[in-house]
Amino acid sequence: PSFSVMTIHYDPQDHPGVLFALKGSVWKNVYIPCSINAILTLAVYFLKENYGLVGISINDKGHTFLSVLAAFLVITRFTIIYNNVWSCRGIVNDMFHAARRISSKIAVFTKNDDGVNAQKYRDLIKLRLLELVGSTTFIITDHAMAVNIIEGVALKKVKTEKQVKLREKKLGSGEDETMLNNVEDPMVLCLNLHAAIISHADYLSEPIHILREMNIAQQVNTYMASYHSLVKASSTPFPFPLVQMAFTLIDIWLYTLPFALSSDIKNKFACAAIIFFITFGFRGLEAVATELQDPFGTDENDFDMNKYRDDTAHGISKDLEKRFTTLDDWADHDNVGSASSHRSSHRESAFRWENVFKYHNKFESME
């Protein structure tokens, strides 16, 4: 759901709290294979003790060599994905900061012009910038749409197919449908924003200096470069052969581990416990890597892109807020201003995007 709380926050000094936390934990993904392997271990001991099948145990020397390769593949995949996540987090930060720099620079460069036309210019920038932020964020967080954009599929066709799926399966929230119905090609929106920026001479009593105009244009370019980098990251899967090799070797090694350790450890329950946590370690790392492979989704540990988007939209709206025009009130400023709003639910402080899209046609008619 669009308003689910993502990106788990925790206190690293609260050891018991971290140890027994369930939200965002990997346990729900790995307790079944861990339990299966522990039960398999007890079954091996049962067969050896009751049926004399001593020969089912295997020498652990060959198993040791296999463990090195399995561990290498797990750690390599996890490290690559983990580094990619932190790289994407930096790009996300750059993208939304660029959007705020655009609005703040427009506000500063036009602060001495209080005329109606000047406010209309700020409103035009606000509208074009919010449309760009909303559409780009939606595409980044929708893996299938990001893949289609990279492959050159027409956005209109992608939207139609997704709308049909939402109606057939009744998926998504009201906000999902609103954003999907109004998402547009970011390149077109970028051109609209550039056109709005350079139209300052038509609105302002004192046009923006060319160097300042170029500075604003550079921020737009930074935003779009960050967007394209994130779409690339969202649509590019981890190399399949490496994933297949890792899954194959890890499964073979883990599920033959009871046959190897049963010949060295006499206590069957101790052996089952050891194998349970070894399975937890390897399968846990695999589960974490799989979850972080697409950090723009709706998993508990993914980036809360909708919150970043809404916080940025609130900032843009406040930077360029109305003065002498009668525009719809786009943002819930009461929630934004309160000290408790940061920890309140996302729905309470969510930016009202439907008002942006409703205002689009109204603004066009005003021009």
> How confident is the model over 38-95, as pLDDT tens digits?
999 999 999 999 888 877 887 777 788 889 999 999 999 999 999 999 999 999 999 9
- Give pTM, 2 decimals: 0.81
pLDDT mean over 121-147: 90
**What does the pLDDT read at residue 167?**
55
Query: What percentage of residues in the chain have a pLDDT greater than 90?
Result: 53
**What does the pLDDT read at residue 328?**
44
Residue 324 banded pLDDT, cuts 50, 70, 90: very low
Q: Where are the alpha helices (DSSP H) in the chain?
A: 15-19, 27-51, 60-109, 116-141, 143-150, 155-169, 174-182, 186-197, 210-235, 240-261, 268-292, 305-319, 333-337, 346-349, 353-366
**What does the pLDDT read at residue 257?**
93
Considering the chain, what is the average pLDDT of its residues?
83
What is the distance between the alpha carbons of residues 311 and 322, in angstroms, rounded to a whole number? 18
342 has a pLDDT exceeding 70: no
> How confident is the model over 284-299, as pLDDT tens digits?
999 999 999 989 988 8
Residue 146 banded pLDDT, cuts 50, 70, 90: confident
**What does the pLDDT read at residue 23?**
86
> How confident is the model over 178-206, as pLDDT tens digits?
777 778 889 999 999 999 999 999 999 99
Place of tokens 């956005």: 155
Q: How far are the Cα atoms of 96, 124, 130, 316 from residue 186, in angstroms, in the given order?
A: 15, 17, 11, 18
Identify whether the C-beta of residue 243 lies closer than 8 Å to the C-beta of residue 74.
no
343 has a pLDDT exceeding 60: no
**What does the pLDDT read at residue 339?**
31
Least Cα distance to 1 among 234, 301, 306, 290 occurs for: 306
**What does the pLDDT read at residue 169?**
52
**What does the pLDDT read at residue 148?**
74
pLDDT mean over 343-366: 56
